[in-house]
Copies of this chain bind each other. A is one copy, B any other.
């Protein structure tokens, strides 16, 4: 048997947002590797081994996947959202680059998924309809000073901004500082979207003007999107729509 690794995105939560390509890879797999809540989304079946591991062991998990593929197993590494956006794809390639030369001969591919910011954007309207950036607010892997610099430059560039991992229990102060920096840089009441657990039964969408955005509005299941200076709100009986027009002509 020829082994392989598929680094697959399960989307934000709903089965209706999993691509057929990913579903087919899971059906062909002998092994599923990933963070506990994502592996839990895969239906057990005979012949399929589920390897669920805790958060923050991404490199161990990646090496394990590559080792199994080298032994001829068909391994799907699962991420939520898209595996290439603040998820497992970079971790697997870091492990490959640092590992035995033979790992470079393995059949390893990435299967894209619906990433959280696009699912959240769709629920709110189209806040990312013009130029935007995506920033991981976790300071596990970069100094907060770099985050702060990027926030200021992104505001100056007038990007809409999508924030992954806005707030962790262990470091709650980072997101408060993020909001301070944005208020200082933007000085307006552009919409901020807090999109929690999008496409799951626990989904909650909250839209507030930037000066009223509070750190407590986000947790680790929340995606935060901040509009650009041109982002608009359409008031409706059905609830507001937030969108960024396509044009930036005066």
Contact = CB atoms under 8 A, between A and B. Distances in A.
Nearest to A108: B241
Interface residues of A, number: 78
Contacts of A115: 118
Contacts of A113: 114, 118
A171 interface: no
Given A16-B21, A18-B20, A90-B129, A105 B237 contact: yes
A150 to B, nearest CB: 5
Interface string A69-111: 0000000000000111111011101101100000011011111
A157 B148 CA distance: 10
B150 A232 contact: no
A247 to B, nearest CB: 4
Contacts of A201: none
B234 A121 contact: no
A125 interface: yes
A1 interface: no
A93 to B, nearest CB: 4
A236 B126 contact: no
A42 interface: no
B135 A131 contact: yes
B19 A16 contact: yes
A109 B235 CA distance: 15
A217 interface: no
The 4 A-B pairs with the shortest beta carbon distances in the complex, nearest first, are A90-B129, A89-B126, A142-B248, A133-B133
13 contacts: A18-B19, A58-B246, A82-B122, A84-B128, A85-B128, A86-B246, A94-B246, A110-B122, A128-B134, A133-B154, A134-B134, A142-B248, A153-B156
Given A109-B122, A150-B157, 14 more contacts: A15-B20, A84-B121, A85-B129, A86-B130, A90-B245, A91-B246, A93-B232, A93-B241, A104-B237, A105-B236, A113-B118, A131-B134, A131-B150, A157-B157
